[in-house]
Amino acid sequence: MTNEKLTIGIILGSTRQGRVSPQVGEWVKEIADTRGDAAYEIVDIADFKLPFLGEGTGDEPGLKAWSEKISSLDGYVFIVQEYNHSITGALKNAVDSAYKEWNNKAAGIVSYGSTGGARAAEHLRGILGELQVADVRTHPTLSLFTDFENFSEFKPAELHHENVNGMLEQVVSWSTALKSVR
């Protein structure tokens, strides 16, 4: 194990035009950057132009870049939005587009939706188990009704700040521990 700083990717789970996930991801990163315990970066699925699993040639540059990016990170924070009581198709496809790269890492979830994105987050937890990703307990849940203006402008309630730090604390702790397993 080296003393290099941990790297944690903040993965934006939505890719649609007009999505709010970049606002939520930047807010998490701002809080994270004040901690000094890891190098945090935004990972935007949309940047990778991933083919739908099994439908491409397998040689797409974005697929290779995705594999390298997921592999290079020690842990993850998933920004999860609820679509039809689950995660987005884009996030599921991105998650399925790697396997070993995820193994023995830790992850936290920040979700949003009409009920805080809880149903989507719980679906993601089941998926992460299969990928041998240890998902931490503390889970900030943001409401479309009270943490967003007009469902589009992100104005988080102050109480979430502490929860984000609690989640990051656990992600950093487990990411550090799991380095010794890899």
Q: Is 147 in the site for ligand FMN (CB under 6 A)?
A: no
Q: Confirm or reject binding of residue 114 to ligand FMN (CB under 6 A).
A: yes
Q: Report, in angstroms and rounded to the nearest whole number, the Rg of the chain calculated over CA atoms.
A: 15
48, 66, 83, 174: which one binds ligand FMN (CB under 6 A): 83
To 10 degrees, what angle do helices 159-179 and 21-33 make? 70
In angstroms, what CA-CA distances link 37 with 7, 40, 89, 160?
A: 9, 9, 32, 20
Does residue 85 belong to the site contacting ligand FMN (CB under 6 A)? yes
Nearer to ligand FMN, 133 or 144 (CB): 144
If one asks whether residue 21 binds ligand FMN (CB under 6 A), the answer comes out as yes
Least distance (Å) between residue 13 CB and ligand FMN: 7
Q: Which of 128, 12, 7 is nearest to 74 (CA)?
A: 7
Answer for which of 10, 20, 38, 98 binds ligand FMN (CB under 6 A) is 20
Minimum distance from residue 84 beta carbon to ligand FMN (Å): 5
Angle between helices 118-130 and 89-96 (to 10 degrees): 10
* Of the residues 25, 113, 140, 156, which one makes contact with ligand FMN according to CB under 6 A: 113
For residue 180, what are the contacts with CB-CB under 8 A and spacing of at least 6? 1
Question: Closest by alpha carbon to 134, among 179, 86, 85, 71?
Answer: 179
Q: Is 19 in the site for ligand FMN (CB under 6 A)?
A: yes
Q: How far is the CB of 4 from ligand FMN (least distance, A)?
A: 32
Residues in 116-145 that interact with ligand FMN by CB under 6 A: 144
CB of 36 to ligand FMN, least distance (A): 28
